Structure 1
Amino acid sequence: MSNKITVLDIPSTLKRHITQAHPYPDFGITNSDWSQDNFAVLSNEPGIKRGLPVKTDYYSVILCLSGSCKKTIGHFVFEVYPNSVHLVSPVHITSFEDASDDLLLYQVLFKKEFLTHNFLKENVLDNLLEVNPDYPPIYGLSKKGVASLKALYEKISDESREQGAFHLQILRLLATDLLYEMNRACESCLLHSTRHLSKQYQLVYKFKKLVEEQFLTLKTVQQYADELFISAKYLTEIVKNETGQNALHVIHNRIFLEAQYLLSSSGLSVKEIADRLNFDNSSHFSRFFKRFAGYNPSEFKLMQ
C-alpha cells in the first residue's frame, strides 16, 4: 500500500460528487459540463450524516440555506446553521457530523491561482481569505444578505454551466464578489457580537491554536500551560468556562482527528500511524482510539 497521504483536489471531489443521486439538478456541477481543475460550484451530497476528516488543496465558501451540522475546521468546532456562510481553508483538516436531513449547502470551490492568475493581487486575496482568525469562520446573514448571496451562487452556477464567451473572467469576478460579501458578513457579525476579546478568551484561543500547531509533541495540559506562562489549574478552568470542555479533551480530540484522517486518507499501517502520532506503541494508540470511537483503528480502516 502507498504511504502517501491523500489531499483532496477539485477533480477528485467532483468525481465523487457526480456519482451521487442529487436532488438539486438545477444547481452546480453535472456529469459533462465542467473540466476545470481549479474552480467548481456544487451543492452538498444528500443523506450523508457525517464526513471523515479530510484536507483539501482548495478553498470552499459555503452558504447554508437550511438544516444544520456540526463542523470542525482546525481548532474551531461550531454549528453550521441556516442563513450563514462559512469558509474552509486548505490549511486545516475539516470534518462534519450530525447533519440534519434537510441540510442544503451551496458551495464554491477554488484554488488561489484561479483568482491570482492575471486577475487579483495575492496580498489582496490573502486579506479576503484570512477574514478574522480570532473567531470561527462562520458568519450569519440578514434576510436581504442571504437572498443576495443565494442569487450570486446561482449566477455562478449558471455561468459555469453555460461556459459562454469570457466565462472564466466572469467567474473570477463573481467569485471575488462572493469573497467581499463574506467579509461584509464577517464585519457585520463582529459589530453585533456580544462576545468581547477578554483576556480569558484570548488565552483559550492561544491554547487551541497551540494545540493545532503542537499536538504531535505536547501531550499534557501542564506542557501547554508552561508554553502560555500560566498554571495548569488556571488553564483547565478557563478552557472549561469558555468551551464547556476539559482542556485535556481538547488535546486528545485533536490527536483523534489526526488519527482518523491518517487512517482514512493514507496507506500507513496502524503501527506507522501510532509512530507518527508519537504513541509509545500501537497497543497504546489502539486503546486511545477505541476510547474515542468505540472500536479499534483496524476496525475503523475496514469500515472505510
Structure 2
Amino acid sequence: MEQTIPLPFSLNKIKDLALTAAVPAVTGGFDIRFENTIHTYHVPVKSGEYELVLCLRGSYKKTIGPFVFDVYPHSIHLISPAYIHSSAEASEDLLIYRLVFRKEFLTNDFFKENTVDNLLELNPDYPPIYGITEQHFIAIRALYERIRHESQVENAFQQSMIRLMVMELLYEMNRACEKCLMNSTRHLSRQYQLVNQFKKLVQEKFLTLKTVQEYASLMFVSAKHLTEIVKNETGQNALQIIHNRIFLEAQYLLSSSSLSVKEIADQLKFDNSSHFSRFFKKSAGLNPSQFKNGL
C-alpha cells in the first residue's frame, strides 16, 4: 500500500529494479514527498530532478548519459536531470537510499545558485559514482536517516533543516569525489580521453551523426583508429555505442511520450518507420509497437 507524504524530495529504501522511474515529478521547488513503496521499472527515464543514491548493499548496472558503471555497496552516485538514465541487473539483496530534489529547492532564497551549481557539476570526464570509506559511509547513512526522520515529523523550520542536510550530503559527495579524483587523475590516459570525447559527442549529436566516420572527422582521427581505441577501452565497437544511444532514446520516447511509431522514427531521423522498426527489433527482440503495448 502506497503511503505518500508531501515533501520537496523523496527518500526511498528500494529493493529490486526500483531504480529508474522513481516517483511522480516533484512539483516546484517546495513539494516534498516520502515514499516507502517498491517500484519495478525497466525503461529509460528522464526527469527534472537530481537524484543522490547511496548503496547500502547489493549491486546493479547503471547508465547515466555517456557513462555505464556498476553500483556497489558503500558507493554514492548522482543522477543529473540533463541525462536519460536506466538501471539493470539488480542483485536480489539490493538496498539503497535515494534522495530526489530540484535545484530550486536549495537555491530559493536560501543558498546562492553558484554555490549549489558548483556542488552539482561534477568532473565530466568520470562516471558520477564514488566509493566511500566505512567511517564516511556511516556518517552519510546517518545523514540520510536524519533527513528521513525530519521529513516524517512536523517541526518548526522543517524545510530549512532539510535544506541544510541536503547541502551537507552534497558536500560529503564532493569530498568523496575529490578523493577518487586524486587517486585516478594521474591514470587518465590519452586513449581514455579520446573515448570519453567520443561518448560525449554521441550524446550531443546522435540524432544527426550516425556513422563512426562522421565522429572520427570531428575528432581529427581516422575511423579505424577510433574503432580500435573504443574497442580497447570499452570492449564495444564504436558503431555499437552510437546505436545504443539511439536505442536508448527510442525506448525513452516509446515509454514516456504519446508519439506514434512513425513520429518517433521521424524524430530519430530514420528514413521511414520500417527502417526504425527493423533497427529496434534487432536490439530489443520485438518491434516498437510490441514494446509500447507491453509497458
Instruction: Please give the per-residue CA displacement for 1:174-193, whole angstroms capped at 9, x wherever unaligned.
Output: 00000000001111112223
**Aligned partner of 1:56 among 47, 63, 73:** 47
**Residue 15 (structure 2) pairs with residue 42 (structure 1):** no
Q: Does structure 2 conserve the Cα–Cα contact (< 8 Å) formed by 1:84 and 1:138? A: yes
What fraction of aligned residue pairs are identical, expressed as a percent? 62
- Alpha-carbon distance, 1:46 to partner: 4.0
- Alpha-carbon distance, 1:132 to partner: 1.3
The aligned counterpart of 1:110 is: 101
Cα distance in 2 for residues equivalent to 1:265 and 1:234: 37
Q: Does structure 1 conserve the Cα–Cα contact (< 8 Å) formed by 2:56 and 2:95? A: yes
Q: Show the 5 A alignment for 1:210-249.
A: 210-249=201-240
**Aligned partner of 2:132 among 108, 125, 141:** 141
Cα distance in 2 for residues equivalent to 1:119 and 1:44: 30
The aligned counterpart of 2:37 is: none
**Aligned partner of 1:289 among 255, 269, 280:** 280
Cα distance in 2 for residues equivalent to 1:41 and 1:260: 26
Instruction: Please give the per-residue CA displacement for 1:249-271, whole angstroms capped at 9, x wherever unaligned.
Output: 00000000000000000111111
Q: TM-score, normalised by structure 2?
A: 0.90
Instruction: Please give the per-residue CA displacement for 1:180-234, whole angstroms capped at 9, x wherever unaligned.
Output: 0000111111222386222211111110000000000000000000011110001
SS at match of 1:135: coil
- Alpha-carbon distance, 1:45 to partner: 5.0
SS at match of 1:51: coil
Tell me which amino acid in the other structure corresponds to 1:41.
Answer: L
**Aligned partner of 1:186 among 174, 177, 189:** 177
Q: Does structure 2 conserve the Cα–Cα contact (< 8 Å) formed by 1:50 and 1:99? A: no
Instruction: Please give the per-residue CA displacement for 1:112-163, whole angstroms capped at 9, x wherever unaligned.
Output: 1100011111111111001211100000010111111110000000001113
Higher relative contact order (CA 8 A, sep 6+): 1
Cα distance in 1 for residues equivalent to 2:260 and 2:230: 34
**Aligned partner of 1:70 among 40, 61, 64:** 61
- Alpha-carbon distance, 1:40 to partner: 2.3
**Aligned partner of 1:87 among 78, 100, 113:** 78
Q: Does structure 1 conserve the Cα–Cα contact (< 8 Å) formed by 2:15 and 2:94? A: no
SS at match of 2:43: strand
The aligned counterpart of 2:113 is: 122
Cα distance in 1 for residues equivalent to 2:182 and 2:51: 24
Cα distance in 2 for residues equivalent to 1:100 and 1:153: 22
The aligned counterpart of 1:26 is: none
Cα distance in 1 for residues equivalent to 2:232 and 2:116: 36
Cα distance in 1 for residues equivalent to 2:218 and 2:154: 53
Q: Return 5+ residue gaps in structure 2 as ranges.
A: 19-39
Q: Does structure 1 conserve the Cα–Cα contact (< 8 Å) formed by 2:16 and 2:90? A: no
Q: Does structure 2 conserve the Cα–Cα contact (< 8 Å) formed by 1:43 and 1:105? A: yes
Q: TM-score, normalised by structure 1?
A: 0.87
Q: Does structure 2 conserve the Cα–Cα contact (< 8 Å) formed by 1:50 and 1:97? A: no
Tell me which amino acid in the other structure corresponds to 1:169.
Answer: S
What is the aligned-residue RMSD (CA, Å)? Answer: 1.4
Q: Does structure 1 conserve the Cα–Cα contact (< 8 Å) formed by 2:130 and 2:177? A: yes
SS at match of 1:70: strand
**Residue 167 (structure 2) pairs with residue 197 (structure 1):** no
Tell me which amino acid in the other structure corresponds to 1:44.
Answer: I
Cα distance in 1 for residues equivalent to 2:239 and 2:215: 10
- Alpha-carbon distance, 1:41 to partner: 1.7
Cα distance in 1 for residues equivalent to 2:17 and 2:115: 38
Greater Cα shift, 258-267 or 188-197: 188-197
Instruction: Please give the per-residue CA displacement for 1:54-74, whole angstroms capped at 9, x wherever unaligned.
Output: 001100100000111111101
SS at match of 1:208: helix
